[in-house]
Chains A and B, each alone.
Chain A
Amino acid sequence: MPIHEKSLIRPENLIEHKDLFIDGIDVSGHWSTFINSRALTDYDESMQEEIAALPGGENIHRCWQCGSCTNACTVNALNPDFNPRYWIYLIRNGMKQELLLDKDIVWQCVSCNKCTYACPRDVNPEGVMKATAHWLELKGHTEKKPSMIFDEGFSQQIIETGKIEDGLVIRQFFARTGQKLAQNWLVAMAIGLAKRLPVAMGIKMGFAAVFHPRTRGWSRARAAIKDYVHEREAANRKALGLPTGEDGR
């Protein structure tokens, strides 16, 4: 069944009335209510189901479009195009082309959970943002975004050793994203700290960088988590109708 709705409030969808009088008052011009209706038939019926199948997206069907998420959103305050309420609307209606216009900013969700706090329907919009970013990447609409490169490198370190060494996280991330480690602000911080740190502490930190902290007897946990990760990756790809074979990626 086609979706019938007012078009989105965008300059190209606004109608101009040159001589419009209501009760004798001239209301000519561009108004956001002067919008053509439209009927959509090219929506993607599987989109909501696919995003709901990815971790975090499970409750997207509960959304009633109140907008509390966008109103509370940290990133929306910096960039009005970052609009969880609107994206959930697009996903639920399968309006893929409209969603793809914003594909390069969805990953910027900072997981502050203000949306989840405000949501009266337990949609977990923060999870929906992660699921959506994941969907965009798996479907090949975006490359792997910096946050996912960071999350994967970080998680990999935990899975391997049980722990995180933050110096290593920073070095690896800069290397993987092709940035130089000697950013002027990082250098300034390191010099400021080195001036005040006692020598013994500096040596201790040097040791941590050589002998990475790790959880003892971690090998069975490591193997168990790796198995689970592979199982979930295959399940996610299957839910999105993607090949799941070893070389399917």
Chain B
Amino acid sequence: MTGKYDKVAYYPGCALEGTGHAYNRSTKALGDALGLQTVELENWNCCGAMEVKNVDPKIQTYLSARNLTIAEDMGFDTVMAPCNGCYHNLKKAEYDLAHDPESKSVNERLAGKAGHRAYEPGHVETIHALDWIKQGIGEEGLKAKVKNSLKGLKVANYYGCMYTRPRHIFPEKDRGPGSESTLKPHFMDDLLEAAGAENVEYPLKTSCCGGAHTLSDSDTSTRLVLNLLETAEACGADVIATECPTCHSGLEMHQMRAEKVFGKKTSVRILYFTQLLGLALGLSPRKVGVHENFSDAMPMLKQKGLAR
């Protein structure tokens, strides 16, 4: 569309090297298919995920800021993070460094001791994989490349918590037409619709999957996930599209746990939006990592004519 995201720094984060590998594979494959180039941050570190802030929030600020420094040192003004946790933490670091003098001074102190330049806010823009496709390619650009329409596939779009909350760290959202909404996000809906999918009205788009306590309070997480799954089914969805590895693996894990521990079976499938868009562009299920998902979506994809 504008070409402004044709070449961006890529921050995969830890989850995409582990349980979320399918998201990593499909994001890269999608970029290749769309002619968008990603250059991985050199020697990046963990952003602090959802855990470090509970030990001390300013360590999380430092961890995320170090990655922003790397992006800048590599000559980039944009870093793209597909993981909601990474995306959220880089945004939060950007916000805190600009608004909280103490966060800024702690970051400078830690960076100084660690032997690298401290990140100055305003130098690097953090975007989500959704922004990357929506604003870098756009619906029309995507439509022109669809080879295998998702027609007939009913999708519940699930964004989770960290893509929109807390709203003050996302100053570019809620800016009226064309911008993303924190209350009712739609970027993923827009892209999947352009690829031919039929989006269902899903009231739990930004509800919580309990990801922060997925292991430490499993029963709470299972109850939250089961609610997401059962509601998606009640809305008529074949598949829940995700854009966060923590949500995604939480949904898969607790779908299994709900069945084995609570005796509640649900059959809605769970796929990353990058996997669905990749399939629509004619990439094979293997190429977008469908075999790496914990829950098996192949029978559903075959039935819908999206895989052989």
Interface residues in chain A, defined as those with a beta carbon under 8 Å from any beta carbon in chain B: 55-56, 74-75, 78, 108, 110-114, 116-117, 124, 126-127, 130, 134, 145-152, 154-155, 158-159, 162-167, 170, 173-174, 177, 184-186, 188-189, 192-193, 196-198, 201, 208, 213, 215-218, 220-221, 223-225, 227-229, 232
Contact = CB atoms under 8 A, between A and B. Distances in A.
B17 A189 contact: no
Given A55-B58, A151-B52, A155-B51, 13 more contacts: A75-B220, A113-B165, A116-B165, A146-B213, A148-B54, A151-B54, A165-B18, A193-B292, A196-B291, A198-B291, A224-B110, A228-B56, A229-B56
A74 B113 contact: no
A110 B46 contact: no
Contact of A113 (B106, B166, B259): B166
B44 A146 contact: no
A130 B19 CA distance: 27
A159 B63 CA distance: 9
Contact of A165 (B14, B109, B223, B292): B14
In the complex, which of the residues B51, B54, B66, B296 has the most CB atoms of chain A within 10 Å of its own CB atom? B54
Given A163-B14, A167-B18, A208-B18, A147 B216 contact: yes
Given A197-B291, A215-B43, A185 B253 contact: yes
Interface stretch (B27-35, B141-149, B192-200, B204-212): B204-212
Contact of A74 (B43, B208, B261): B208
B257 interface: yes
Nearest to A215: B45
A189 B18 contact: no
Secondary structure of the B side of the interface? helix
Contacts of B256: 185, 188-189, 192
Contacts of B51: 150-151, 154-155
A223 B109 CA distance: 12
B45 A158 contact: yes
B284 to A, nearest CB: 13
B217 interface: yes
Contacts of A166: 14-15, 18-19
A237 to B, nearest CB: 13
Secondary structure of the A contact surface, majority rule? helix
Interface string B102-124: 00001001100111000000000
A173 B48 contact: no
Residue of A164, A170, A196 contacting most chain B CB atoms (<10 Å): A164
13 contacts: A110-B208, A110-B210, A110-B211, A111-B161, A150-B213, A154-B52, A155-B52, A155-B54, A159-B59, A174-B215, A185-B260, A192-B256, A228-B58
B262 to A, nearest CB: 10
Contact of B213 (A110, A130, A185, A198): A110
A158 B63 contact: yes
B118 to A, nearest CB: 12
B55 A155 contact: yes
A110 B45 contact: no
Contacts of A74: 207-208, 210, 224
A78 B292 contact: no
B49 interface: yes
Nearest to B262: A185
Contacts of A213: 14, 17
Contact of A117 (B43, B62, B166): B166
